[in-house]
């Protein structure tokens, strides 16, 4: 029976993108995409949960009520020991739900384009990041809010020069960077930013994509492997 991964998509223009093909490369994986702003958040994730990025800030739960429901789904999924992956806003929601803090509009400024992540020692043993943690990894970035404090049960796994980039808490992994996007997607996001040269961002990301894409695909493959392993453990109980 295929494993079901529920995907919470906050905005129309922040989709699974390249992850969709990488995650569903064979019939063992079924994706259920839930559009958080217009569709009720489910109470159960299935076999795993991915929470994507978005324009909202982590604390804007009155304006975007689905954010609170998403945090609850992340919490209940972790309580069931399901694999959870939070990307950008998803990582920030995970951090806050588990006792951490996010600084909205961090004074150190926006991080955009290709960025190098240096891994902490614990990353080598992580079931998702382990394949990447043998050396620094180039990733695609776009964020202004930043995770500035982790909860007591979370472990930092990777950092860029300025910001926390990856952490684990229980069965959940949060990554501030965007492993799912192609260069053109980041360019589309920054096209309306007056302080960003969107064309230069796309050029830089295209030049680095020979490093970014394989690392991102490896992360997707490792997540799928963890989803299968988690399902097998539950089925054997």
- The residues assigned a catalytic role are 88, 178, 180
Helices 183-190 + 198-235 axis angle, to 10: 120
For residues 88 and 201, give the distance between their C-alpha atoms in angstroms, rounded to a whole number: 18
Instruction: Name, in order, each residue with C-beta under 8 angstroms of 179's C-beta and a sequence gap of 6 or more.
Output: 19, 87, 139, 140, 215, 216, 219, 220
Instruction: Report the Cα–Cα distance between both ends of the chain, in Å, rounded.
Output: 17
User: What CA–CA distances, in Å, run from 232 to 28, 33, 69, 128?
Assistant: 12, 23, 28, 17
- Asked whether 164 and 154 are in contact (CB, 8 A), the reply is no
Determine the length of the chain: 237
- Asked whether 223 and 129 are in contact (CB, 8 A), the reply is no
Q: Is the dihedral of CA 71, 73, 78, 82 positive or negative?
A: negative
224: part of which helix (H) or strand (E)?
Answer: helix 198-235
For residues 125 and 133, give the distance between their C-alpha atoms in angstroms, rounded to a whole number: 9
For residues 181 and 196, give the distance between their C-alpha atoms in angstroms, rounded to a whole number: 18
């Amino acid at each position: 029976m295929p494993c079901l991964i529920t995907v919470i998509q906050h905005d129309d223009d922040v989709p699974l993108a390249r992850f969709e093909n990488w995650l569903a490369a064979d019939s063992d994986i079924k994706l259920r995409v839930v559009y958080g702003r217009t569709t009720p958040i489910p109470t159960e994730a299935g076999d795993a949960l991915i929470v994507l990025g978005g324009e909202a800030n982590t604390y804007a739960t009155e304006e975007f009520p689905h954010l609170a429901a998403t945090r609850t789904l992340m919490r209940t999924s972790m309580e069931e020991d399901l694999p959870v992956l939070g990307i950008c806003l998803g990582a920030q929601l995970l951090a806050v739900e588990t006792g951490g803090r996010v600084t909205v509009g961090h004074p150190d400024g926006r991080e955009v384009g290709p960025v190098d992540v240096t891994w902490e020692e614990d990353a080598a043993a992580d079931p998702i990041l382990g394949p990447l943690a043998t050396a620094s990894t180039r990733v695609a970035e776009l964020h202004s809010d930043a995770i500035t404090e982790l909860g007591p049960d979370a472990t930092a796994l990777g950092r860029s020069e300025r910001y926390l980039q990856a952490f684990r808490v229980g069965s959940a992994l949060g990554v501030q960077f965007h492993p799912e996007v192609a260069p053109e997607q980041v360019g589309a996001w920054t096209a309306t930013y007056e302080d960003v040269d969107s064309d230069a961002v796309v050029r830089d990301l295209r030049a680095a994509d020979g490093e970014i894409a394989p690392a991102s695909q490896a992360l997707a493959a490792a997540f799928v492997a963890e989803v299968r392993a988690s399902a097998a453990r539950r089925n054997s109980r």
